Structure 1
Amino acid sequence: MNCEEIKKNIEIRTVLESFNLFPVKENLRTAFYFALDREEKIPSLSVDFIKNKAFDFGTGKSYDVISIVQTINRCSVSDALKYLGKLGFSHERTEKNSKEGPQTLTYEVSKIHEITHPALVRYLTERKVHKQSHFIKEIHFRLRWKNYFGIGFLNDSGGIEIRNQYFKICLGDKDVTLIENKADEVAVFEGFFDFLTYMNIENEKDSNSDYLILNSTAMLYKAEKKLNRYNKISLFLDNDSNGKMTTEKMIIKYENVEDCSLIYKGFKDLNEWFCQKK
């Protein structure tokens, strides 16, 4: 295949996955990844799976599969083509995929057990939540011809939120997670690492409430009916634009809402603040 055929037919997702790069946020057509050439906390690389191209909102650069390899490997076009050739043409886009868009993620879970892998134990220890590992599982799975493992957290639709040091994905349907203790108060978190962090703190206070983990601020609409029955809602959302916007929406919609993000003012989220504590 020549350059134009490769740009059109080799899946951009496959190329990114070959570098262990996975979506931070994803829908049927597009996804956001972290930038290729710098570290960042908010993903700025928008990938269009239909057009098979990417755009970096931070730099204004556009990418195809060849320039992605060039950027990451810092190589020539010729070397990038050699790299893409090694991926194999079994990863080519089919005519059906190019017209109808990406297919639903298909995966196969091979093992589920307590957290034992040294890399995951180390990751939980670094995030200071290893004492709460009874809320999570070690998940081994196969996705797009490759084997992976990570920390798994179940949501209310049976989907599994997967995290490790390198990627964040959801296997199955995306949804919120509600942990009920028959309480009239609920603490709301954006991700399960903040929930695990809060459990470290709550154990010290010996308080009791229900817990709602959004698993993404985009899932707020799935939580609305669940939140109506609570007398008090405590919000522990991220200190970024999405977190603040979601907090404002909930303060307007519900009574007795408390924004608890002031506790970790100056930090991205509750876990980052907790990790900085001595």
Structure 2
Amino acid sequence: MRAKDANAIPIPRFLEREGVKPASVRNGGREVWYSSPIRSGDSSPSFKVDTVLNVWYDHGLAQGGTLIDLVCELKSVTVSEALAILDATGLGVQTQKRTDAPRLFKPSKSPDATPAAGLAGEKEKQQGSGETSAFEILSVRDVRHPALLDYLKARAIDPIIGCTVLKEVSFTPKSGIGRFFALGFPCGEGYDARSAIFKGFVGTGKDISIVAGTGDAENDERAVSVFEGFMDYLSLLTLRRTNALQEDAIILHSAALKRRAVTAIQAGKYTKVSLYLDHDDAGRATTKFLIAETTRDNASDASGFYAGYKDVNERLIAITKERRI
């Protein structure tokens, strides 16, 4: 095997074969982090693989390189011996059609499903951020996997509410490192996805999400609540013990989409706008922006509801822990 061919083998695929599992996936799938396989005692994963450049870097050693360099370090061998090892794995001749995956995630075998009814990104000629993720959706189904149900429990979300609103989304990185799954909330033409180790957008055309409330449309007051992320929306549903709010809801998914929210609020002709954004610099800045831009819509900061906590979900988790004591 030539060095060029060897270094073209995705590093995560080689590590998977070696039994090394990823600790987290970040930056839209570009970064995969591990506890270092070339040194012991790395309790806080600091070994990063860039799946686009296909290189690695160990922050603990301040050292990195190509796949060949990694094999040399991992096996304590020469370059020629590393090439022989990689040649013997057969990874160099595999294609994108391989079906095995990192054990950290398990691929779904069910057919694709459509997004939940009643949730859709507010569309205009300019589709939100227009973001296209580094992942391709493989399938969408009802939430079933125990790991995802455990994640809902860890976030203190009522599982019945969570499973009513969310989907289990299976997806694959375009870099070909395997298959993954996570909880998905309909967002644009894809999903805002979350799991214990993954946070990112999967699909195309990232946008805000608008959920119709159950209130009487003929009522004089048209209200909407605005959330930064869908976990905060689900948290309020859990606290109110309902599958849907009486008022409409807008989930930003990203503070960068705040102007999209302004457009939706103005188009909805709301008479009351409640802002449930994070208690951090970005959240406060977004709150200030939305209040300034929607003065005619009576926008107000509702974050006093979770004073002392970063967001609605953090307060929900605290309340849940208190109830268990």
Shorter-normalised TM range: 0.5 to 0.7
| Residue among 171, 175, 178 paired with 1:141 | 171
Q: Structure 1 counterpart of 2:283, which letter? A: G
Unpaired stretches in structure 2, ≥5 consecutive residues: 36-41, 95-131
Q: Structure 2 counterpart of 1:138, which letter? A: E
| Residue among 154, 162, 165 paired with 1:126 | 154
Matches within 5 A, 1:49-88: 49=52, 76=73, 88=91
2:22 counterpart residue number: 20
| Residue among 252, 260, 264 paired with 2:292 | 252
What TM-score does the superposition give when structure 1 sets the normalisation length?
0.67
SS in 2 for 1:159: strand
2:186 counterpart residue number: 154
SS in 2 for 1:175: coil
| Residue among 240, 247, 267 paired with 2:309 | 267
Distance 1:259 1:87 in 2: 58
Q: Offset of 1:222 from its aligned partner?
A: 2.6
1:202 counterpart residue number: 240
Check conservation: 1:177, 1:212, Cα contact below 8 A: yes
Structure whose CA Rg is larger: 2
Check conservation: 1:23, 1:169, Cα contact below 8 A: no
Matched, 1:177 2:230: no
1:235 counterpart residue number: 275
What TM-score does the superposition give when structure 2 sets the normalisation length?
0.59
Matched, 1:192 2:230: yes
Q: Offset of 1:270 from its aligned partner?
A: 1.0
1:223 counterpart residue number: 261
SS in 2 for 1:215: coil
CA-atom RMSD in angstroms: 4.4
Note closer, same or farther for the CA distance 1:51–1:112 as it changes in structure 2 (3 Å cut): closer
Aligned residues between the structures? 249
Q: Which digits, 9 at most, give the CA deviation of each residue in 1:244-276, with x for residues without a partner?
A: 221121122122222222322332221111101
Structure showing the higher helix proportion among its residues = 1
1:96 counterpart residue number: none
Q: Which gives a bigger RCO, structure 1 or 2 (Cα 8 Å, sep 6+)?
A: 2
2:110 counterpart residue number: none
SS in 2 for 1:272: helix
Check conservation: 2:167, 2:183, Cα contact below 8 A: yes
2:115 counterpart residue number: none
Q: Offset of 1:22 from its aligned partner?
A: 5.4
SS in 2 for 1:200: helix
SS in 2 for 1:170: strand
